[in-house]
Structure 1
């Protein structure tokens, strides 16, 4: 096996250098092209180019290039290659051998998993209505907290769940707050049985009397809600100047303070969205937009649910899709806790991307986007400076 791998690597080097193969290498290459895994990619009808990028760091890429004896520059962290079958198969094989990832217009290879990009040492924070704070992380001591009308239980895995404590409405005041830092998402359960997943850099404030007289929560940032049905008490999410009222459904709300709009994506059920005098009822698969500083509500009938919820699966984008580059940049900023500084207006605002994991280092993500996005970037002390290439 070791000898076959060495031959395959030598074939790759020759193909990249456009050098002729020996008879033995040619026979080996013919056999490689018949492998089912290779044929699967070769038979994809929409492949006109492919992007190969390294997901560990620049030093790993340099070491790899030295091993297979090809030149390396920082630009090679992400590069586009005009499509042809033999080169596609060669690079696929090298990706398999080295454990790197390959993306083909949204189709990911089965490479080995890489390290998570979550910030080490960071955790979600619970602040109780009486002002106490708890870091919600694995391997902590299990805890049971009395927080007004709630009993909050935290497991040794850091999972938070609220339970009714038996107190009546009118005896409880204040809020219990769950916050996430950049680079981290967190799921927990409310006392009515509803579940919440907070995206990074988000906050949910839960009234201490939640589920006794009302089920109203206050969101800053982005969250996924799976709401338990309760006919008498609707579930209400307040974001900025908007209100989202449901009886039982699942949906995503994105309302970061620096976003141009509050975006609500309905996955199942029905949802009433209101702001000022305006009100709109959403159905499953639809999206609403409330522009910042406006009471106008816009309906988008065909929501891209995969893109809206990609963060739940630890991705920036879930599959091949058309996105706004400025929106992707905001996602990158929040996840890695970095700044994007525009030296020009963005030229290629609308672009098509494939699946992009949030486990990927930030430089590699930008290297993936810079070709179709038509920009170059420079990392400086104050952030990433973005400049158009055309």
Structure 2
């Protein structure tokens, strides 16, 4: 097996076979290999951080770096990072020589909880950073405003847009969240690492948006013009209700209904949900189950809620919010189940302390790398 290919797949967040995982785990036990891989993780964190300014196809990006030797992989990644990141706010890369050997030095700010931040991409391709400053943008008859309470609001000023459909995109990076009010009054809360594309004003017989990541929708009622959330695997159709959609690439697509009614449309088949139900795509089939809604939408109210959840799922959620990379010293810990509830404003050290109280795992944070170790068998 080619360890460089396996490394690139891991950095691209692609699924590894059991053989590849075992091969990597054995390789990683060597201290020099572990130091090398952690350097690559730091560089990867910086590249992902650049999504604050630009959405990147991670797999396409990593496909550009397939060298044969370790040092050339680091050098290539550094060059790529320098091109993609430019003024990186989350850290600085340095390549120094010590006794004719090259070493990566990465200086970064402490890990912080996520915050209100996003990037608005206009129909022209212009990108506008949405953070603490107030922004007013005119988009061909539509005024787009970023208000002090950090929500993006669309307001039609004239009728010039009725003849054409103009799309905007809001991208929320890892370590971010944002609130968006569409032209019809629908409110959308976007979670970390999420991306929504939508028309700045709705025309025709439907109101359609496209979503990647997670969002909570409070849809303005309009029985004559259904609201549709389009995704790769299925669509969600409503006329006015509240629901949560979770559409991350490495998870099962899930829609949770809070109130009202929604219907799931897939391959000509329609499934209807009642409040408290969730539709999950598993094994290429829609399965409907009753869930704890409060837990499923806890993020919308500034909290994390986990009840007997797999540790791997918990860590993926934390990784997106705190913008860290997680490494498991023992693969079996991924299947451990935990229950926990804490505020999203909690420091990562507070979260670590909560999880370590189980006496099953230890968590070690160095830079932006969080290492998980099984201690239950010691």
**Per-residue deviation, 1:357:** 1.6
- Distance across 2 between alignment mates of 1:347 and 1:123: 33
- 1:1-390 residue pairs with structure 2 within 5 A? 117-118=112-113, 123-138=117-132, 140-143=133-136, 145-148=137-140, 150-164=142-156, 165-167=158-160, 169-173=162-166, 175-259=167-251, 261-291=252-282, 294-300=283-289, 302-317=290-305, 321-347=307-333, 349=335, 351-372=337-358, 374-380=360-366, 383-389=369-375, 390=377
Shift of 1:281: 0.7
In structure 2, C-alpha distance between the alignment counterparts of 1:234 and 1:245, rounded to whole Å:
6
CA contact (8 A) 1:192 1:228 kept: yes
Q: CA deviation at 1:380?
A: 4.2
Per-residue deviation at 1:249?
0.6
Which deviates the most, 373-382 or 335-344?
373-382
Deviations 1:245-294 (A, max 9, x none): 001110000111222x0111100011111222433111111001013xx5
**1:346 partner SS:** helix
Cα distance in 1, alignment partners of residues 264 and 171 from structure 2: 24
* Equivalent residue, structure 2, for 1:74: none
Moved over 6 A (4+): none
Could you say what the CA RMSD is over the residues aligned between the two structures, in angstroms? 2.5
Partners of 2:150 and 2:178 within 8 A in 1: no
CA distances 1:325-361 after superposition (whole Å, capped 9, x unpaired) = 2221111000011111122223473534242122222
8 Å CA contact 1:142–1:156 kept in 2: the answer is no
Instruction: State the shift of 1:384 in Å.
Output: 1.8
Structure 1 unpaired stretches of 5+: 1-115
Equivalent position SS for 1:372: coil
Quick check: 369-378 or 276-285, which moved more?
Answer: 369-378
- The Cα shift of 1:311 comes to 0.8
Cα distance in 2 for residues equivalent to 1:182 and 1:308: 19
For residues 348 and 130 of structure 1, what CA distance do their matches in structure 2 show? 44
TM-score, with length taken from structure 1: 0.62
Give 1 or 2 for the bigger CA radius of gyration: 1
- Partner Cα separation in structure 1 for residue 353 and residue 185 of structure 2: 42
Alpha carbons of structure 1 residues 153 and 377: separation in structure 2 relative to 1, 3 Å: closer
Pair 151,364 (structure 1): closer, same or farther in 2 beyond 3 Å: same
User: Runs of 5+ in structure 2 lacking a partner?
Assistant: 1-110
Tell me if the contact between 2:196 and 2:212 (Cα under 8 Å) persists in the aligned partners: yes
Per-residue CA deviation, residues 89-132 of structure 1 (Å, 9 max, x unaligned), is xxxxxxxxxxxxxxxxxxxxxxxxxxx94457x72221111222
Tell me how far apart the structure 1 counterparts of residues 114 and 334 of structure 2 sit (CA, whole Å). Answer: 30
Deviation at 1:161, TM superposition (A): 0.8
Give the conservation status (yes or no) of the 8 Å contact 1:325–1:351.
yes
Q: TM-score, normalised by structure 2?
A: 0.64
Q: 2:140 & 2:361 partners in 1: Cα distance? A: 52
Counterpart of 1:229 in 2: which secondary structure?
A: coil
